[in-house]
Amino acid sequence: MRGLFLIGAALLCCAAPAAGWAQQMPTLQRVVASGRPQQINFITTMDPDCHLTGSGDFAVLEGPAHGRVSMERGVDFPNYPPNNPRARCNTRKLAGNKLIYQSAPGFVGEDDFVLEVVGKYGSVLRARYHIAIR
């Protein structure tokens, strides 16, 4: 009986970190003009001292139903939140990737897609983009 308890406890300890893997996926909302390509985000990866660490690997996990998504290399201001140590990097333009969305011509309504970014050290960020097309 004691052996079964130890096995159960060991399984619980191994399963607990796996439960932390599942995270709530953030939803980012954007508004775009119908049929025109528009930058909806700028993605760059850097150290807290504002040195670029690479571009990361991007994948569209769920594509939009009423448009298309593309990435373009470019230069823009990063947009880290104030509580992020990289927020001080927001004051200068840096190299990165412009996330572009374009709806089907004449489409007006809503669209969604899911983007995944894998960083230099294997960190994974996923976000759902909810697009209002006017």
Looking at this protein, which amino acid is placed at residue 2? R
The Cβ of residue 37 has, within 10 Å, a number of other Cβ atoms equal to 16
Q: What is the pLDDT of residues 116-129, one digit of tens each?
A: 998 878 888 899 99
Which sequence spans correspond to the domains of the chain? 25-133
Decide if domain 25-133 falls under CATH 3.40.50: no
Percent residues over pLDDT 90 in the chain: 62
Q: What is the pLDDT of residues 88-118, one digit of tens each?
A: 999 999 999 999 999 999 999 999 999 999 8
Is residue 20 pLDDT above 70, yes or no? no
Please report the pLDDT score of residue 45 as a whole number. 84
Please report the pLDDT score of residue 56 as a whole number. 74
The average confidence (pLDDT) of the chain is 84
